[in-house]
Chains A and B, each alone.
Chain A
Amino acid sequence: DAGVIQSPRHEVTEMGQEVTLRCKPISGHDYLFWYRQTMMRGLELLIYFNNNVPIDDSGMPEDRFSAKMPNASFSTLKIQPSEPRDSAVYFCASSLAEDGVQETQYFGPGTRLLVL
């Protein structure tokens, strides 16, 4: 398996621009997570999906952030408009919950976002 795939790996944009991050989870996994990692705040869970349905988006910082999962093999995280404080590494992860028990989360390589 190719693992979790994220694109782009690096993104540099200017304040006010729209940014779209993409994720392809591991085939067969039923949970998908979006995290943000910064030096100041560490690893923060933004939102997670189960079977393509958003379950908990309480970590999404504000309305500028939105996430979708149109099918089991693709998810996007969009920031519109972007701000310099959104600069971070964004990780996508997926997992398969067996018998309702949390199993291992598999992380993608991350997208390093810099908003100027």
Chain B
Amino acid sequence: AQSVTQLDSQVPVFEEAPVELRCNYSSSVSVYLFWYVQYPNQGLQLLLKYLSGSTLVKGINGFEAEFNKSQTSFHLRKPSVHISDTAEYFCAVSLNSGGYQKVTFGIGTKLQVIP
């Protein structure tokens, strides 16, 4: 079975500073990886996903993530954050092993952008 670990429960960062939210996964087979964002009082929405191909994935709102197979990581980055990026971010993984595989979500990282 797969699992995902988000190493930081909360990340405070000043506006216009860069940010990295860390995610590591565990799986014995190849995986698909996702980052979702949840704004206050809303459901989750997809930021970006890695299915195959280039290991650098660009998503919405200026976010990007890099799939690193050797380190089993999929960290999320943004070079300059905005107040509106304040939200909770979820890393998720599913197995790439044929057929439909359910998605396992991490515990979430709260990003607090400080003016």
Contacts and interface: CB of A to CB of B under 8 A. Distances in A.
**Chain A bound to chain B:** yes
A46 B37 CA distance: 20
Interface residues of A, number: 22
Given A43-B105, A91-B44, A102 B94 contact: yes
A100 B42 contact: no
A42 B43 contact: no
Contacts of B94: 102
A105 B103 contact: yes
Q: What does DSSP make chain A's interface, helix, strand, loop or mixed?
A: strand
B80 interface: no
Interface string B58-87: 000000000000000000000000000000
Interface in B28-77: 32, 34, 36, 41-46, 49, 51
B26 interface: no
Interface string A26-54: 00000100000000001101001010000
B112 to A, nearest CB: 16
A56 B44 contact: no
A91 B102 contact: no
A3 B94 CA distance: 23
Given A56-B102, A93-B44, A105-B103, 5 more contacts: A100-B99, A101-B32, A102-B32, A102-B103, A109-B41
Interface of A: 4, 31, 42-43, 45, 48, 50, 55-56, 91, 93, 97, 100-102, 104-110
Interface of B: 32, 34, 36, 41-46, 49, 51, 90, 94, 98-108
